[in-house]
Structure formats: structure tokens, C-alpha cells
Structure 1
Amino acid sequence: MKKYLLLILCFYSHLVIAQIKPGMWRGELILHDTLSLPFNFEVKDNIAMIINADERIPATISLMQNDSILIRLPDFDAEIHASNFGELLIGEFFNLSRKEKNVITFRASANTGYRFSDRPEKTSTNITGKWKAKFDGEDDENKYCVGLFNQEGNRVTGTFLTNTGDYRFLEGEISGMHLSLSAFDGAHSFLFIADVINNEIKNGHFFSGLHWHDTWSAVRDSSFNLNDERSFSHLKEGYSKLEFSFPDVNGKMVSLADSEFKNKVVIVQIMGSWCPNCLDETRYLSDWYNTTKPEDVRIIGLDYEKITDTTVAFRNIRRLADRYHVNYPILFGGSSNREEAGKTLPMLSRVFSFPTTIYVNKDGTVREIHSGFNGPATGQYFEDYKRGFAKLIEEMRNH
């Protein structure tokens, strides 16, 4: 496949043009010679609007020095470099937050609105509903998760909810008995394929970019639920309070013991700029904070990065703070390795997931620790989270 793409590049090199043709495009990340991860985007002016079900991601388009096209994802250290042949783009996707297997061959075709197939086979199967899914390569705490799907005709949208967070907005189809779903947002490059046989999902394969492959299956189970989000992390015996001191983007050390946080309800968010679930939570918390402007509530973000160079870390923090209008401090905690992150907060039993949210009472004691986040792709679960959040904060403010 790579040799084929190189031949096209050589043959059409004299036809490279700067501006991408407006309209719908079908992009593909080439995982190997016979497998690609498709996604859709719409080009208008200098924006490539990436589409995953109900999600829209505005990626900026610009011209690089060598006359190739640069498509930069807004939330993550991720970009596409491509040569433009009018109705064909050929290049590479770079996930700059990863150190290995971070470059994937990319191609895209204009005037193409379908995702997996232009004429999917008719199907009598409908997978709408709640499923209990099993991912064989995960550890015991993450092996089982909730699958939520909605099907209209051949088109399928949905997500998976795990104990560490959700898989966000998936989109695809059922063609005959074959299920295909994908998502691309710059951090996630997800592809799910499986067969639907006798009302069960079997023979499933899951690919995350080039770096991860797993097998999966699912059965209908409307009663299946995940573990309580408060059950995965707690304060170690002998501790009742959280203590830390980390730098903000200006190098100023900020501590939970500072006067700014005295006699206040404090929400401490363990997060990473590379983590889509963390950004979903940040979007919600920032909107809530800016809208309600609570005098007796403060939020602190503790950011842990895959690349721990402080210049890169502070740049990533500034980018997400600007994009999500964050008006509370986000501090740099260090490496996103969960064991290393846990060492910076030794009073915690562990950092189980990104995000992890710690709710601190006005007297400084820890009220609850929540692992994971059910974001907007989860529908009713996200609505339940918002109601639970409002109730908890109100109780803490009145305590």
C-alpha cells in the first residue's frame, strides 16, 4: 500500500495545488495493506470540519513551506501533512504526543460522503440498545464495559462506557451482518469491526491507531452497569486531606493550602491535555464555573503529560485553557504514567484513570473521589452526571 501511494505521489507531483477543494471528503488512516480507518470531514474556507456522529471538530488548514497542506487538530498535538492533487490528498497523520508508532499513512478523496461503504448490504439486524461488551486484552477492572448503540437503517452511532471513561463519538454502519465503527479526533484513532450473529456481536476486533489491537464481543444486557466511580481510588489510611504544590504556566507554585482555597469547596481535576475524556470534563467544568461564578467554590486542574518537557507541557496547558475558556489554575504535575502520577499525590491509593476528580470540603477534608467521566457521547449517562454533580456541589456548599 505504501509503495502504491509513493507511486501516485511521484506521478502527480507536478499537479500539487494549494487550496483544498470545498465540500465533503472521506479520509482514511492506513493501518495496514488491507485495513483502513475511515472518517469524514467537510472543507469550507480554511477549515476541515471533522465529523464523528454528532461531534464536529474544526481543524485548521494552512500551506506549509514545501507547498504541502497542513491540517492541524485543535485540541491535541496532532496534525496531517498532505500533498493536494485536487480531488485526492495523500500524506501522513502525526500524533506528536506519542513517542512510538505515531505516524500513519493518510489519504482522502473529495466528493465522498459515505464512511465505510457507498452501498452497504441490506440488513435485518438492529443493534439499538444497551450491550455488555467484553474486551479480551484488558485487565479485570476494564474487561467489561457498556456498549450503547443507535441504528437507523444501515447507519450506526454509539459509544462504549468503561470504568475509566467513554470512547466518545463512534460512527459507522451495519452491512449485512458486519458491524464497522470508527472515530478520529486527533488523540483517538479508533476502528471497531465485528459480526452480528443471532443477536450477539462476535468476532470483534478493535484497533487504536498502530499501537493497539484487541478482540471483543458483546451481548444484549439492559441491566448491566459499571462499578461505582467512587470505588477505584481513596485516601490511604491516616489521611483525611489532599496536599500538593505544583507550578502554574507562569512558574508560580500553587498549593491547596493557599489562602485562595481556604473555606472553599474545591474541585481538583487530575487530567491530561492529551486525554479526550479529560477535555470533555474540562469543557463542562469550565462552562459551569464561568456561568455560575460561585464565590465559595474553586477548581484546580492538575495536568499530567506524556511529554514532560515543561515548555511543551505549559504550551499544551495554555492551548486547552484558551480553547475552553478556563478561568481557574491548571498546574503541571509531571508524567502521565499512572504510577508516576500517583507518587506526586502519595495520600491517594492510586491514580486509576484520567480524569480523576477529587471533591474537597470547605474544611479541607476529602468528600469523594470520582474516577473516569461519562461525556456527551453517553447521552443519558452524561445527563445523570450533571444532575449528580449539581446535587453534590450544593450539599458541599451548604455543609
Structure 2
Amino acid sequence: MKRIFRSAGLAALGTGLLAGAAAAQSTHSATSVDGRWDAALTRNGVSVPFRLDIEGDGPTLRGVLYDGFQPYEHTTSATFQDGNLTLRIDHYLTTINASLQGDKLVGGIGYQARSANVDYEFSATRHVDAAVTESKAPSIAGSWIIPLDRPSAKGEKAFHFIVEQRGTEVAASILRVDGDTGSYSGSFHDGKWVLSHYDGSRPGVIEVTPNSDGTLQVKQLSFNPQAENTKPQDNAYTVAEADSRYSSNLVAYRAEVAKAKGLPEPENYLAHTTVRDTHEAFAFNFPDVNGKAVSNDDPRFKGKVVLAIVTGTWCPNCHDEAQYLVQLDKKYRDKGLAIVALDFEEPEQQASLEREKAFVKQYGVEYTYLIAGAPSDMWEKVPQLVNLNTWPATVFVGRDGRVRAVHSGFASPASGEFHRDLEKEFTAQIEQLLSETQQQAAAVNIVPPSVTPAKAGE
């Protein structure tokens, strides 16, 4: 994560959204930070507004971050002493440090991304409900398709765009093959929605403008966290032009309109990644956090239905999936399901596993976590999967040890109907595999994929 987007126009966004709160008289104590705050992180003069709720006091103090309309992440620890606030989100290696200055919090955010440490300026003012300036907004709720001008680095030709609308307020998510962006949220002003998102990771802003032909102009004011070389453009934002998933300007079509026009469809999550030989047992052998080697031949997996998750705690979509996997583990563990995470952490995290340990604690993970290597090792360490280039990837393994399906990415609750479809798919797949005896599983005729193995790029 080398650089973040730029725009002289957006620089005032955070200020504009927070103006009402800044001008209001606070009824809170000057020694308390409890309450709702209109916060913003800023880098290179550009602000990403977000909602921050601070609750409790002393040992009960915590911060809550939102995903769209819903509370989503909370701090792992929080302190407020002598006017100084520290909010730690250890499962993202994110820390917010700020001082209370009147009715404002001013400080910074430190975040360790996969490729670099990134620092942001942080500011917040107490929230005051703003007067409604526009009583109506066009209806854009529902499912949309965003065709790409050229395939993304992962081979995608289109994305899903999912919108939930409450009057002039909108929560929207872009769903790609590896997962969604989280839910951007905001209001309708001056003919467009300006939507932002921050949940401890993946900050970003999009502008959504309805066009006269019924399409939506979606302007990504975001950035590619892995881009090594980016270039500023006149009146635009810094993006990675090499990957169309980060293109500044996208156009969304109603799903039914896109189908009628024959526009490209988003990737099939069950066909994107395949297995090189469906008759081959899925094998793994990696150490756990204590350095003890654990393989697929371990008694905890033999004769079980196994979900093997290619994952990494630096990956926001992997955080989304882990919370769902915890639910599946509780529901099906005693029925014969075993979940194992094949976790790929950056080399600098290998020694301490600081984020991995916080991740496991935060989400209450009780299934097996194995440290498989660094992200760049993935194709060497998981050679049985073809076109493996999403984080996460979920491998469904039958009682006989053979791969029965691979689901690329994870659609979180921000993806609406696609998350609900995923839940149905995972449940049906697990229950089908659990219903089979080992002999029945071995008798299943699986047709090998008609694809040529190739090493997928990141």
C-alpha cells in the first residue's frame, strides 16, 4: 500500500460532512469521549469520512466501526487517560491515537497493510444530526452489473454492484471474485451519492451518479493497495491503471438490462478456481502456531468432511469469512465437519504472528489454524488448485479426501442477496457431503476439469 488517492475536490468532503457537528454545542463532558463521532482519516489531503461510536468508560471502553448501516468491527482494546485516546484494532494491526481538544479528537491512524506500513491523519467531531436538505432521491436499490473495459488481473469481465437504499441514504458494495469492498454508505446531495467506507481496513470513497439512460456512473475514489507504480491524472484520482478493478470510472447497469444487452457477466465463484485432478486426495502438511506439524492424515480430519480455507489475516475478505466459518464450525463440528485454515502471513509476521493471534481471539476461532507460509508461497504450497488467485478460497473436501468444490472469494453481508446465496450454497454443500459415508464418497464419479494448470498471478 504505497499511495492513496488524490483530489482537490474530495479534500473538502470530510469537512463538509462534519460541519454540522463542528458548529454545534456539545453537552458531553470535556473528560469523556463516550458517544457517536463523525470521524475521518486523511492522507495526501484527501478525507475518508466514517462513523465511530465510542462506548463505555475505563475497562469497558471500546470503539465500534460500521459497515454500511450496521455495526461491524470493534476495538480489541481502548484507553482514554489524561485527554489521550488509544483505540487498538489488533486483528488488523491498526491503531488510532488521538487527543481530545475541546469537542474534537485529533491524531493519527497507523495501519500495517500487506505490503507496507501506512499512516493517516485522524480527526473527529461529535455527531449532530444534520437537517434534511433533500427529501427525495432516485431509487437505485437492487442488483447491478458493472462490465469492465478490459479483464481485471484476475480475469474478471464484470462486477456485481449491490445497493441498499433508505430514502436519501444508501449503502452499496462492489462484489468481485475475491469478495466485496465492504459497504460504502452516505447520502444524496446535488444529484449524486458520495459514499465512504472504513472498518479498520480498506478505506475508500465512491461517487454514484444516476445517468439519464438509467445507468449509474460509479466513480471509484479508491486505490490499489498493492500497486507499486501509480500515476496521478488531471482531475482524477491515483489508481492502478494496470488492473481495471481499480479504474476511476465505471458504469453500472440493472442486472436485467445487462442480461438483455448481452453484457459480460461476473465470474462464477464455483468455476473460477478448479482442481488439477479430482481423483487426487487434497493434501496439506503445515505447522500450527506452536510449530507442530499437522497434515490431512491427522485423526481430526480422517473420514471427516473438510473445509480447507486458503486465507491470510491481512485480507479483509478473510476477516469476513472467518466470522461465518465460526458459525459453521459450531453448527456442524459434532456432525463430522472439520475446518482448517491454511494461513499465509507476510514474512515479517511469521515470527510473532501478532495479527493472526489477535484475529483468532477476536472472532472466537476454534477450528484448526495452520501457518502455511508467505502469500508468495501460495502456489507452491497449494499446487493442486488451478487458477488460485483469490483470498480467500474455500475447498470442500469429501470424507474420502477428494476435492468436491472450490469456492473463490467470500461475499460478506454487505453483498446482500449474494451473501444469502453463499450461505445456502455452503450449507447445501456441507450437508450433502456429511450425508455420504466414506464408501459413498469414494464412489462419486467426479469429472476432471478440462483446464490446463497454470500459476495464477496475484
Shorter-chain TM-score: which interval? Answer: 0.7 to 0.9
Q: CA deviation at 1:126?
A: 2.2
CA apart distance, 1:270: 0.7
Q: Partner of 2:286 in structure 1?
A: 246
Say whether residues 1:93 and 2:109 are aligned partners: yes
The CA RMSD measured in Å over matched residues stands at 2.8
Residue 400 of structure 2: aligned partner: 363
Partner letter of residue 221 of structure 2? F
Give secondary structure in 2 for the equivalent of 1:388: helix
- Give 1:48's match in structure 2, choosing from 54, 63, 69: 63
Q: Is 2:146 the partner of 1:109?
A: no
- Correspondence for 2:340: 300
Q: Calculate the TM-score normalised by the size of structure 2.
A: 0.75
- 2:299 aligned with 1:259: yes
Contact 1:78 1:97 in 2 (8 A): no
- What letter is aligned with 1:195? T
Q: Alignment length, in residue pairs? A: 377
Instruction: Note the C-alpha offset of 1:219.
Output: 2.8
Deviations 1:92-114, CA, capped at 9 Å, x for gaps: 11112344361111111113456
Indicate conservation of the 8 Å contact 1:201/1:219, yes or no: yes
Corresponding residue SS for 1:312: coil
CA distance in 1, matches of 2:140, 2:169: 11
Distance (whole Å) between structure 2 residues aligned to residue 267 and residue 192 of structure 1 = 35
What SS does the corresponding residue of 2:306 show, helix, strand or coil?
A: strand
Write the distance in 1 (CA, Å) between the matches of 2:96 and 2:121.
9
Structure 1 residue corresponding to 2:179, chosen from 165, 184, 189: 165
**1:317–1:330 contact (8 Å) kept in structure 2:** no
Alignment partner, residue 325 of structure 1? 364
Q: Quick one: distance in 1 between partners of 2:117 and 2:349?
A: 20
Q: Distance in 2 between matches of 1:259 and 1:124?
A: 58
Structure 1 position 23 matched with structure 2 position 35: yes
Aligned to 2:25: none
SS in 2 for 1:173: strand
Quick check: 1:149–1:156 contact (8 Å CA) kept in 2? Answer: yes
Is structure 2 residue 138 aligned with structure 1 residue 125?
yes
In the superposition, the TM-score normalised over structure 1's length comes to 0.85
Alpha-carbon distance change, 120 to 133 in structure 1, aligned in 2, over 3 angstroms: farther
- Which 5+ residue runs of structure 1 have no aligned equivalent? 2-16
Inter-partner Cα distance in structure 2 for 1:366 and 1:26: 47
Amino acid at match of 1:348: L
Structure 2 distance, partners of 1:377, 1:285, is 16
- Partner of residue 176, structure 1: 190
Shift of 1:175: 0.9
8 Å Cα contact 2:172/2:184 also seen in 1: yes
| Greater displacement, 353-362 / 85-94 | 85-94
2:21 match? none
- The worse-fitting range, judged by mean Cα deviation, of 137-146 and 168-177 is 137-146
State whether structure 2 residue 82 is matched by structure 1 residue 61.
no
Partner of 2:6: none
Q: Share of identical aligned residues, percent?
A: 24
State the secondary structure of the residue aligned to 1:142: coil
Q: Which moved more, 1:48-57 or 1:381-390?
A: 48-57
**Where do residues 280-299 of structure 1 align in structure 2 (5 Å cutoff)?**
280-299=320-339
2:252 to 195, 215, 219: 219
Task: Tell me: CA distance 1:398–1:132, structure 2 relative to 1, closer, same or farther (3 Å).
Answer: same
Question: For 1:19 and 1:258, how far apart are their aligned partners in 2?
Answer: 55
Bigger mean CA deviation after superposition, 66-75 or 282-291: 66-75
Question: Is 2:382 the partner of 1:345?
Answer: yes
- On the 8 A contact 1:192/1:206 being kept in 2, the answer is yes
Contact (CA 8 Å) 2:326, 2:363: kept in 1 or not? yes
Query: Residue 286 of structure 1: CA displacement?
Result: 1.3
- CA separation of 1:120 and 1:354: change in aligned 2, threshold 3 A: farther
- Residue 358 of structure 2 aligns to a residue whose secondary structure is helix
| Cα contact 1:75–1:319 (8 A) shared by 2 | yes
- Measured in 2, the distance between the counterparts of 1:98 and 1:84 equals 31
Separation (CA, whole Å) in 2 of partners of 1:350 and 1:18: 56
- Matched AA of 2:139: N
Contact preservation (8 Å) 1:190, 1:209: no
